Copies of this chain bind each other. A is one copy, B any other.
Amino acid sequence: MPLGPSDVEPDAKPGYPGGKAEGRATLEARAERLTELQELLYANGVAGTVDEAGRGQSLLLVVQAMDTAGKGGILRHVVGTMDPQGVETVGFKAPTEEERRHDFLWRIRPHLPQDGFVAVWDRSHYEDVLIHRVRGLSAPEEVERRYGAIRDFERELVDSGTRIVKVMLHLSKDEQRDRLAERLDRPDKFWKYNPADVDERAVWDEYMEAYRIAIAETDTDDAPWFMVPADRKWYSRIAVQELLIHAMESMDLQWPPADFDVRAEKRRLAAS
């Protein structure tokens, strides 16, 4: 059985003995490796590298979390160190009226990563089994149906050459209170504060239960979930960074060979 929210301490830092200062140094040092791998992935996209089955490779990072858990910081300090040329970030907001008229995956599909790209989803199709379950935005049997639809959807993606890494940034309810309080203390943070966030705190346990079920239903070998403790922002960043590094290392990427005659091009260039 996969781990759920209750199995992981939000203030833990599994696998990392150091503290905050060391963690920040690690983040900076490992950004180089992350960037190198992402360039390698992108290079293969540009070169059109495919496997025996004719598939290119790409990476999809799904980030889910309660508010203030640090999604923005992951985008900025982890995703933001990669070359924006090969990274596509999408923030999924509340669906529009048109989007609501379609199946829940309809608005998701246009954002699948192209070959060579890293796609990053800030919220995702999981909202349709999280808030929809907690707030009853869809009928229970529809929510049930969606777990299977998500498994099929992600399997299809993996089969077409996309690695999937799914992260839940796991924050404690107390830490969230502190972070919301900070927004109320600082006029330069008011814009980040939304009174609805306090309403959501009233159903915190229901959200944790919805996460537990969603993760149990959709944690597969091909599209695994990772519960990342998020009470320490610096820790969650290096944890997600390592997940990305590991995913790309497992792709066994090589620099694409020249598809032109290198010596002939050198002569042509020298004469130009």
Contacts of A257 in B (CB 8 A): 187, 190
Question: A184 contacts B265, CB within 8 Å?
Answer: yes
- CA separation between A201 and B265, bound complex, in Å? 13
Given contacts A43-B191, A260-B195, A269-B180, contact A72 B83 (CB under 8 A): yes
Q: Could you tell me if A79 and B75 are in contact, using CB atoms closer than 8 angstroms?
A: no
* Residue A266, interface by CB 8 Å: yes
Report A48 CB to chain B, min CB distance, Å: 10
Interface assignment of A84: CB less than 8 Å from any CB of chain B: yes
The main secondary structure of chain A at its interface with chain B is helix
CA distance A84 to B268 in the complex (A): 40
When the two chains form their complex, are residues A269 and B177 in contact, meaning their CB atoms are under 8 A apart?
Answer: yes
A253 vs chain B, min Cβ distance (A) = 11
In the assembled complex, the Cα of A192 lies from the Cα of B91 at a distance in Å of: 30
Q: A256–B188 Cα gap in the complex (Å)?
A: 8
User: Closest CB-CB distance, A239 to chain B, in whole Å?
Assistant: 19
Q: Give me 8 other A-B pairs in contact (C-beta within 8 A), A79-B84, A85-B91 excluded.
A: A43-B192, A46-B192, A177-B269, A177-B272, A180-B269, A187-B255, A190-B256, A193-B260
Chain A contacts to B: CB under 8 angstroms? 43-44, 46-47, 72, 75-76, 79-81, 83-85, 87, 89, 91, 122, 177, 180-181, 184, 187-188, 190-193, 195, 198, 201-202, 255-258, 260, 262, 265-266, 268-270, 272
